[in-house]
Amino acid sequence: MPATTAAAEKLLLQMVDDYTTREISPEDMPMDAAGDFPAGFMQKLTDTGFLGIMLPQEFGGAGFGPEVTAAALNHIARGNASTAVTLEGHFKTIDQILKFGTPALQKQLLPSANDRIFAFSMTEASGGSNPMGISSTATREGDHWVITGDKIMITNGGLAQVYCVLVKTAPKELSVFVVDQDMPGFSFGKREDFIGLRGTPVGEIVMDHIVVDNDHLLGKLGDGGIIGDSAHDDARILMGAVLTGIMEHELKIATDYAKERKAGDKPLTELQVTHRKVADIAMRKETTKLLYQRAAQLKAAGQPYSEEAAMAKAHGSRAAVSAGDDTLQILAGYGYSREYPVEHLIRDARAMEIAEGTVEKMRSAIATAEFNK
């Protein structure tokens, strides 16, 4: 049974649209220039209830399912992809605590997810594509675990207060624990100066002998690989939605400009070269939308969705970069200028060929799924 009604879903998306137009879109260009969100921005988003969109109602959230949650991020990304990605990082982490956390941990942590941001931390300096190469460890001492290590390039790193962390519990055993910013031994390190999604904080967390009890383990010892894959799957659906939002933004810029701009005495809309570009942008946008919506439908129905989620992000990330390039070419000199958002939309989309698993890793996952059929 869905936790929400069709009327509530419609109302949510209308609220998200209105709020995005009023409060989030106007900050898109300033955030890109500043490399940060403005003071008070995140608090307002929290006060408006955005952090609890997919959190079940028993924990005080709104309880919307995967399809509506993805649609909400899609609507936000039409105006500001960075803000949508901050929420994506939060939602995928909540999802793993819902799937793998003990009832006691869920009860302790999840009500706070309405006003505290969560993050999922796997990558270390040794590389993100090879989880077995990590050095962070959790060592059992009596009835507690002691966690030590350093995670880099974490979405919401420095902003979030709760972190799922992938660690080794034996030389060849990966496990995931949950740590809190308030725990002794927790600190923040370097914040990345990335070229895109510049309104999303991405940074380092340092864990120096953090002591947690066994309830802070997600799943069982050795489930780290499964939980990491699950986090990627959930994130990739949401990234497909964000990428669709970026392409909707690009398409609007391209069509608005083509209607206004003249080449000689003809508007750009009458040139076949413009038709080709606009049609390609629209097709890339629609195919990505169908892929992420299909993955979200499968997830909502309790079916496997890993391959479809990988397709949504692998296809959508290159599609949004290419659509941005076509948009830039339609605007030509203005497209190349920082006065227009086109160049930053390309930089934003480019991040998603790397984050949540590189496109190379996703293609391997998709091909393996096909070989196994």
Q: Give the separation between CA 57 and CA 75, rounded to whole angstroms.
A: 22
List the one residue from 154, 164, 296, 349 that touches ligand FAD (CB under 6 A). Answer: 154
Which residues sit opposite 357 in a β-bridge? none
Residue 11 vs 132, nearer CB to ligand FAD: 132
Write out the binding residues for ligand FAD, residues 246-275 only, by CB under 6 A: none
Q: Give the separation between CA 167 and CA 76, rounded to whole angstroms.
A: 33
Asked if 136 and 258 count as a contact pair (C-beta separation under 8 A), the reply is: no
Q: Give the separation between CA 202 and CA 354, rounded to whole angstroms.
A: 13
Asked whether position 202 contacts ligand FAD by CB under 6 A, the answer is yes
Asked if 366 and 311 count as a contact pair (C-beta separation under 8 A), the reply is: yes
Stretch that binds ligand FAD, among 13-21, 152-160, 238-246, 314-322 (CB under 6 A): 152-160
Residue 116 vs 261, nearer CB to ligand FAD: 116
Cβ within 8 Å of residue 243, ≥6 positions away: 77, 288, 292, 312, 313, 316, 317, 319, 320, 349, 352
Asked whether position 4 contacts ligand FAD by CB under 6 A, the answer is no
Ordered DSSP codes for 278-335 = HHHHHHHHHHHHHHHHHHHHHHHTT---HHHHHHHHHHHHHHHHHHHHHHHHHHTTTT
From the candidates 27, 124, 248, 356, which is the catalytic residue? 356
Place of tokens 């400009």: 257
Asked whether position 155 contacts ligand FAD by CB under 6 A, the answer is yes
Asked whether position 201 contacts ligand FAD by CB under 6 A, the answer is no
Q: Note the Cα 61 to chain centre separation in Å.
A: 19
Q: Of 130, 125, 148, 151, which Cα lies nearest the Cα of 138?
A: 148
Asked whether position 131 contacts ligand FAD by CB under 6 A, the answer is no
Asked whether position 179 contacts ligand FAD by CB under 6 A, the answer is no
Q: CA gyration radius for the chain?
A: 21
With CB atoms as reference, the residue minimizing the distance to ligand FAD is: 128
- What is residue 174's three-state secondary structure? strand
State the minimum distance, in angstroms, from the CB of residue 214 to ligand FAD: 23
Q: Of 296, 301, 368, which Cα lies nearest the Cα of 92?
A: 296
Residue 275 vs 363, nearer CB to ligand FAD: 363
Residue 208 vs 360, nearer CB to ligand FAD: 360
Write out the binding residues for ligand FAD, residues 311-340 only, by CB under 6 A: none
Place of tokens 């990335």: 194
Asked whether position 128 contacts ligand FAD by CB under 6 A, the answer is yes
State the minimum distance, in angstroms, from the CB of residue 93 to ligand FAD: 9
Based on the residue annotation, tell me whether 58 is a catalytic residue of this protein.
no
Using CA atoms, how far residue 360 sits from 37, 318, 325, in Å, is: 31, 12, 21
List the one residue from 57, 129, 135, 187 that touches ligand FAD (CB under 6 A). Answer: 129
Write out the binding residues for ligand FAD, residues 344-373 only, by CB under 6 A: 351, 354-355, 357-358, 360-361, 364
Q: Where are the beta strands (DSSP E) in 29-185?
A: 118-121, 137-141, 144-155, 162-170, 173-180
Residue 70 vs 239, nearer CB to ligand FAD: 239
Asked whether position 71 contacts ligand FAD by CB under 6 A, the answer is no
State the minimum distance, in angstroms, from the CB of residue 204 to ligand FAD: 11
# residues contacting ligand FAD (CB under 6 A): 23
Write out the binding residues for ligand FAD, residues 30-69 only, by CB under 6 A: none
Asked whether position 123 contacts ligand FAD by CB under 6 A, the answer is yes
Catalytic machinery residues: 356
Binding positions for ligand FAD, rule: CB under 6 A: 89, 119-123, 127-129, 153-155, 194, 197, 202, 351, 354-355, 357-358, 360-361, 364
